[in-house]
Amino acid sequence: MTDVTNERASRFEREVQAVRVRGGTVARERLLARAGVALMLAGIGIGIFAYVLSHGTTNALQQRDALVVALIGVTLSIAGLAAFLRYSLGALLRLWLARLVADREQPR
């Protein structure tokens, strides 16, 4: 049974090398997913800072500056969400595809 498994694994590796698909590194994708989470949290923090800044004054010019800061926070949160979703879903879909290929290769 082990010989059959090793043979299938080596055949699968040869087929993947023949296709020449560029594979991402897991460590880099994990780092980028964590950077996305950090951007989301930074955006939330900047939004809270902008709220406090806008309510701490009656000067309309300072309140408009706080609106700009809040928009920067929203932009960072959206960019962080996009990065997190891209790299976390990429890993999930790659795992799902590998599982699908492995299930199709099993003899019935």
Domain locations along the chain: 22-105
Q: Please return the burial class of 42, using the count of CB atoms within 10 Å of its CB with bins 0-12, 13-18 and 19+.
A: middle
The token duo for 75 is 């932009």
From first to last of its 108 residues, the chain has per-residue pLDDT tens of 577 677 777 877 777 677 665 666 778 888 999 999 999 999 999 999 999 999 999 999 999 999 999 999 999 999 999 999 998 888 888 888 878 877 776 665
Q: Are the beta carbons of 40 and 81 closer than 8 angstroms?
A: yes
Q: Are the beta carbons of 9 and 71 closer than 8 angstroms?
A: no
**C-alpha closest to that of 83 among 28, 1, 44:** 28
